[in-house]
Amino acid sequence: MAGYDIFNGDADGICALHQLRISKPCSRILITGVKRDIKLLDKAKFKKDDLISVFDISIDSNQDALKKGLEMGASFEWFDHHSSETVPDHPNLKCYLTSKAGVCSSLMVDKYLNGRYRSWALVACYGDNFSTKAATLGTEMGFSRQQLASLQILGELMNYNSYGDSIDDLHVAPDELYRQIKSYDQPLEFLASEQKLVSDLHDQMNDDFEKGLDLPEERLQNVVIKRLPNKKWARRISGLLANRLSQRTQKFAYLILLEKEDHFSASIRKPLHHNTPASLIAKQFPTGGGRREAAGINVLPKQQIDSLIEKMILCYK
Ligand SMILES: [Mn+2]
């Protein structure tokens, strides 16, 4: 019998796991990866009586491995806010899922723990670009504006650290980052104690942002398009750059095209007050997925770029 904690390598995934483990400590095998590495269940072979907790990855993307694990006699608990249309009905699967806008996986864990480690859920909300939600909850909890600004920076840094094609692109591997925060009940304590790590991450993020913002953008009706080169810094910043741009001018949809070896990857953000989910557009492509507000396509062949842009223009006019 073995225990596994399987989590997305971004702020939400790490903070979701962290909240649960502060309240229920146990030593488990950690399985994670870069943010887009979401078929994480494939990385383990589950056996009878294994206990598996999963955070912030979609059931739909892992349905085969989950079914196999359940058949083997393993038990799962699953906290997530991505698409979950294929939830198996099984006594050994406990789900804490939502598709509500503005609710991240860490908030599902927060609900499960009756808000016990909510400050970490705030960090996750900031990381997942739910800053209004975080500010509302944080103000209720008595955090000052300055404290909230610090939590926001931490969320953005942890999220930023998860972007890349492989762990090699990242400043610190997500499981290592989790080990660093593990002993801190409060994110503000972590920030005060781990200044070197935080400031190094911050410098690298600002540097990557600057390079991205300096590149020209093109606007076609309500869709703003930016193209990034096949570089480490660009792979790290593409998603966060999309978030920052979409917050800057909320009436536009954004498309960030990141060049890869022989294709592109796409980050899609919808205009704030538009109803059509970004994921609905992404899912029209074989490797597309994501959430209502933020979606992406992992492998977009060059010749399909125009069709993606057309779909976005039509949808968000
Ligand atoms: Mn998330």
CA pseudo-torsion sign 285, 54, 172, 156: positive
- Do the beta carbons of residue 10 and residue 56 sit within 8 Å? yes
* 3-class DSSP state of 176: helix
Distance 3 CA to ligand 1 centre (A): 22
Distance 310 CA to ligand 1 centre (A): 28
Distance 130 CA to ligand 1 centre (A): 10
In the DSSP assignment, the letter for residue 268 is: E
Higher-confidence position of 182 and 83: 182
Distance 91 CA to ligand 1 centre (A): 25
pLDDT at res. 243: 85
What is the C-alpha separation between 234 and 227, in angstroms, rounded? Answer: 10
pLDDT at res. 84: 86
Distance 303 CA to ligand 1 centre (A): 30
Distance 23 CA to ligand 1 centre (A): 20
pLDDT at res. 247: 85
pLDDT at res. 235: 95
The CB density around residue 73, as the number of other CB atoms within 10 Å, is: 13
Residue 141 pLDDT > 90: yes
Residue 134 pLDDT > 90: yes
Greatest C-alpha distance within the chain: 57
Distance 316 CA to ligand 1 centre (A): 24
Distance 205 CA to ligand 1 centre (A): 20
pLDDT at res. 186: 98
Kindly report, as residue ranges, where domains of CATH 3.10.310.40 are found in the chain: 215-315
Residue 112 pLDDT > 90: yes
The mean pLDDT value for 120-125 works out to 98
pLDDT at res. 209: 96
Distance 105 CA to ligand 1 centre (A): 5
The mean pLDDT value of the chain amounts to 96
Residue 249 pLDDT > 90: no
The CB density around residue 206, as the number of other CB atoms within 10 Å, is: 10
Distance 13 CA to ligand 1 centre (A): 6
The mean pLDDT value for 280-293 works out to 92
The mean pLDDT value for 172-189 works out to 97
φ/ψ of 36, rounded to 5, equals -85, 0
Using alpha carbons, select from 257, 259, 308, 270 the residue that is nearest to residue 286.
308
Residue 154 pLDDT > 90: yes
Distance 243 CA to ligand 1 centre (A): 14
Give residue 240's pLDDT band: very low, low, confident or very high (50, 70, 90): confident
Residue 55 pLDDT > 90: yes
User: Would you put residue 301 in left (φ > 0), alpha (ψ -120 to 50) or beta?
Assistant: beta
Kindly report, as residue ranges, where domains of CATH 3.90.1640 are found in the chain: 3-200
pLDDT at res. 1: 84
Structure tokens at 85: 């249309």
- Do the beta carbons of residue 32 and residue 170 sit within 8 Å? no
Distance 169 CA to ligand 1 centre (A): 20
Distance 271 CA to ligand 1 centre (A): 19
pLDDT at res. 83: 80
The mean pLDDT value for 166-171 works out to 97
Distance 298 CA to ligand 1 centre (A): 17
Q: Which fold has domain 215-315?
A: Diaminopimelate Epimerase; Chain A, domain 1 (3.10.310)
pLDDT at res. 212: 97
Q: Which fold has domain 3-200?
A: inorganic pyrophosphatase (n-terminal core) (3.90.1640)
The mean pLDDT value for 78-98 works out to 94
Q: Crossing angle, helix 145-160 and helix 131-140, to 10 degrees? A: 140
Residue 87 pLDDT > 90: yes
Give residue 248's pLDDT band: very low, low, confident or very high (50, 70, 90): confident
Pairing mode, strands 253-259 and 264-269: antiparallel
